[in-house]
Amino acid sequence: MGKNERRNSTQNMKKAGVTHPSKTVSAPNGKFIQYPGNPQQEMAGRKTLKARPAEENQRKSRKTIRKQKARHRLTTAVLVIILLAICLFISLKVLFIVRQVEVEGTARYDAVEITNYCAIPLEENIFKIDTKTLEEALPQEFTYVEKAVVSRKLPDKILITITDSVPTYYGETLDGEMYTYTIYSQNFKKLTAQAAPPQGLTGISANLEDETSRKTLLTMIDKLARPEYAGVTKISVSDMQEISLTYDNRVTIQLGTMLDMDYKLKMSFHVLTNELLETDRGTINSTQAGSAIFQPEK
């Protein structure tokens, strides 16, 4: 190859962008063949340069989506709060307003008397009525109200349900030389006191403030509720070691402690119904299970 040819070849390579002669070889025909480097590396380089803006755009797009979701959640929360506030306002000012007060269950008191005491304002929101306070106050204010239940009947009614006290028991107290008789309800609510012995009520002798005494009294009342034990006129549990009954105001039944009480009652009433006359008076000693000994009144 002459100088002119080499000069032309060099110039051609420069025009073609070949800067490394080592990457060119001479063909048999005397022409140069250019190898412009590794095409895969150059393509990878081009891809990397093109990918950077795309990744950046993707990151920006993800941030934008997150921000949009956050704004959407915030907007939804605000709308829910506003909606709840509107519903609350409507319920307090428009819906659930007291339009009527009704009283049921009592035969002792007039409904007007009960409603006047409760003084529940009409046109007031039904949920602002303090039902618990009224339930506690009514039995204290009215002697023969055993229990009161004040309930809301949506959308606009307050219902007052009264359970009347029923005179059921009486207690006997010696005051100087005179006896006083205290009348109690079915749940031992103190109703009134009188000087004359009450008729048709069961006498009780118990410390109603003491939990054990009260529980024992309730147990005895439950046992004596059976038909075969009808006729008991007094129950005494004031002394837990000397529990006793009075039958038909003429026979005292001594039972001792609560031990074997069911058997003691069975034996005692067997003697009453099978061995005694309707006019007999005295005491049946049943303190020991298995025996019931009658001692006539002298």
CATH number (domain holding residue 117): 3.10.20.310
pLDDT of res. 22: 47
Q: Residues 224, 258: one domain?
A: yes
pLDDT of res. 29: 52
Q: Are 253 and 246 in contact (CB under 8 A)?
A: yes
Please give, one letter per residue, the 3-state secondary structure of 212-248: HHHHHHHHHHHHCCCHHHCCEEEEECCCCCCEEEEEC
Looking at the domain assignment, is residue 10 inside a domain? no
pLDDT value at 279 more than 50: yes
Among 48-57, 175-184, 287-296, name the one with the lowest average pLDDT. Answer: 48-57
The burial of 245, by beta-carbon neighbours within 10 Å (0-12 exposed, 13-18 middle, 19 or more buried), is given as: buried
Q: Residues 67, 114: one domain?
A: no
Q: Residues 152, 85: one domain?
A: no
Looking at the domain assignment, is residue 233 inside a domain? yes
pLDDT of res. 36: 52
Looking at the domain assignment, is residue 53 inside a domain? no
Calculate mean pLDDT across residues 271-298. 94
Looking at the domain assignment, is residue 273 inside a domain? yes
Tens digits of residue pLDDT in 64-123:
888 778 888 888 888 788 877 766 666 556 679 999 999 999 999 999 999 999 999 999
Among 95, 113, 139, identify where a domain stops: 95
Q: Residues 287, 243: one domain?
A: yes
When pLDDT is cut at 50, 70 and 90, the band that residue 59 belongs to is confident
When comparing pLDDT for 39 and 186, which is higher? Answer: 186
Q: Residues 69, 120: one domain?
A: no
pLDDT value at 297 more than 60: yes
Q: Residues 91, 153: one domain?
A: no
pLDDT of res. 24: 47
Phi, psi torsion values for 232, nearest 5 degrees: -75, 125
Q: Residues 121, 151: one domain?
A: yes
Task: Compute the 3-state secondary structure of the chain and give helix, strand, coil in percent, each to the nearest 5.
Answer: 40, 25, 35
Looking at the domain assignment, is residue 49 inside a domain? no
pLDDT value at 212 more than 90: yes
Phi/psi region, residue 30 (left: phi>0; alpha: psi -120 to 50; beta: rest), is: left
- Considering the chain, what is the average pLDDT of its residues? 85
**What's the rounded Cα separation, in Å, for the pair 181 and 175?**
10
Looking at the domain assignment, is residue 28 inside a domain? no
User: Which residue range is the domain that position 128 belongs to?
Assistant: 100-164
Calculate mean pLDDT across residues 182-209. 96
When pLDDT is cut at 50, 70 and 90, the band that residue 220 belongs to is very high
Looking at the domain assignment, is residue 33 inside a domain? no
pLDDT of res. 54: 67
Tens digits of residue pLDDT in 7-22:
555 555 555 555 545 4
When comparing pLDDT for 278 and 53, which is higher? Answer: 278
Q: Residues 64, 123: one domain?
A: no
Among candidate residues 224, 250, 249, the one with its CA nearest the CA of residue 237: 224
pLDDT of res. 49: 47
Q: Residues 283, 241: one domain?
A: yes
Structural domains counted in the chain:
3
Looking at the domain assignment, is residue 126 inside a domain? yes
Calculate mean pLDDT across residues 231-241. 96
pLDDT value at 238 more than 50: yes
Q: Residues 90, 144: one domain?
A: no
DSSP annotation of 264: H
Among 95, 121, 143, identify where a domain stops: 95
pLDDT of res. 70: 82
Among 69, 95, 121, identify where a domain stops: 95
Q: Residues 104, 68: one domain?
A: no
Residues 249, 250, 252, 253: is their CA dihedral positive or negative?
Answer: negative
pLDDT of res. 149: 98
Tens digits of residue pLDDT in 21-54:
544 444 455 554 554 555 555 555 554 445 466 6
Counting Cα atoms < 13 Å in the Cβ hemisphere of 125 gives 10
